[in-house]
């Protein structure tokens, strides 16, 4: 009787294990693959949102500094610049992008109050776990411009659409749109590093033969060069410099 029960228990466990494996393999996109897509959209190594935030903060500082000493010529400041950017030679993650930045500095009573930054970009990256060719827009509002504040506050939206090829798990190939809304992103005025803030992400993806599906995620910027990304209840640690992802 005991032998029969043990055999039944082993068979049941094997059935559950196989079933879970089959469910994961049949899923159009795994949580981990979704986390990788979000990490690439954020990280410096793939020229993601972190780089655009840094560039926007630096330009804001330059514009605000022009109003020091009682000068008000910075008010109404506008600028548009276009440039290309490529990964350094020998980088583990390679990328090539073209960017267009548009800046408008708004003032109140001749004092700088906020910087509006509109960005368009297109390009590609190739990382060990994910590759993509995509284009998108970023709209940011930079506030807390007064000298008494040690950090800027940045709110805004990031959106990108293109092809994404996963190199892990299900190795899913998709045409996807990634939308990220950042809230109260704190950026140090001296180092331009991200000190905190939150974001919400939405991935809308279409895979051949698998239809269209969505993933939602929450993002917390930890202030230590990293962020936590939670996808469907699974939390991942993301290095904002390298783009490395690890499940917590």
pLDDT in tens, 156-174: 999 999 999 999 988 899 9
Domain ranges of the chain: 30-247
Residue in this structure with the two tokens 């060719």, named with its chain if needed: 133
Q: Read off the pLDDT of residues 116-132 as tens digits, 9 standing for 90 and up.
A: 999 999 999 999 999 99
Can you read off the two tokens belonging to residue 209?
Answer: 């033969």
Q: Other C-beta atoms within 10 Å of 52: how many?
A: 19
User: Reduced to 3 DSSP states, what percent helix, strand and coil does the chain have, rounded to the nearest 5?
Assistant: 25, 50, 25
Q: Read off the pLDDT of residues 173-214 as tens digits, 9 standing for 90 and up.
A: 999 999 999 999 999 999 999 999 999 999 999 998 889 999
For residues 56 and 1, the model is more confident at 56
- Residue 74 pLDDT: 67
Q: Read off the pLDDT of residues 65-122 as tens digits, 9 standing for 90 and up.
A: 876 644 455 677 889 999 999 999 999 999 999 999 999 999 888 888 999 999 999 9
Q: Does pLDDT of 43 surpass 80?
A: yes
Helix (H, G, I), strand (E, B) or coil at 66: coil
Mean pLDDT of 38-49: 97
Q: Read off the pLDDT of residues 130-142 as tens digits, 9 standing for 90 and up.
A: 999 999 999 999 9
Angle between helices 31-42 and 49-65 (to 10 degrees): 20
Q: Does pLDDT of 51 surpass 60?
A: yes
Give the bridge partners for 154, in sequence order.
Answer: 142, 185
Residue 217 CA to residue 220 CA, distance in Å, equals: 10
Can you read off the two tokens belonging to residue 202?
Answer: 């939405």
- Residue 111 pLDDT: 83
Residue 231 CA to residue 11 CA, distance in Å, equals: 32
Can you read off the two tokens belonging to residue 2?
Answer: 């005991």
Q: What is the pTM of this model?
A: 0.87
Residue in this structure with the two tokens 């993509």, named with its chain if needed: 132
Which residues neighbour 125 within 8 Å (Cβ) at sequence distance 6 or greater?
40, 46, 47, 87, 93, 94, 95, 96, 131, 132
């Amino acid at each position: 009787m005991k032998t029969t029960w043990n055999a039944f228990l082993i068979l049941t466990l094997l059935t559950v294990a196989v079933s879970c494996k089959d469910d994961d393999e049949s899923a159009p996109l795994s949580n981990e693959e979704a986390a990788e897509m979000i990490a690439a959209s954020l990280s410096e190594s793939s020229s993601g949102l972190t780089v655009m935030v840094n560039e926007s903060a630096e330009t804001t500082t330059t514009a605000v500094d022009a109003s020091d000493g009682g000068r008000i010529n910075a008010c109404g400041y506008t600028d548009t610049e276009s440039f290309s950017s490529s990964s350094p030679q020998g980088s583990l993650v390679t990328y090539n992008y073209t960017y267009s930045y548009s800046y408008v500095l708004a003032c109140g009573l001749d004092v700088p109050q906020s910087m509006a930054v509109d960005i368009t970009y297109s390009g590609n990256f190739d990382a060990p776990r994910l590759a993509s060719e995509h284009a998108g827009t970023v709209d940011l509002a930079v506030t807390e411009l007064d000298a008494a504040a040690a950090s800027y506050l940045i709110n805004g939206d990031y959106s990108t659409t293109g092809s994404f090829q996963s190199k892990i798990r299900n190795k899913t190939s998709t045409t996807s749109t990634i939308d990220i809304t950042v809230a109260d992103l704190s950026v140090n005025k001296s180092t331009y590093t991200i000190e905190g803030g939150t974001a919400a992400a939405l991935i809308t993806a279409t895979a051949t033969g698998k239809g269209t599906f969505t993933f939602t995620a929450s993002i917390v910027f930890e202030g230590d060069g990293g962020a936590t990304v939670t996808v469907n209840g699974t939390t991942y640690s993301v290095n904002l410099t390298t783009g490395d992802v690890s499940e917590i």
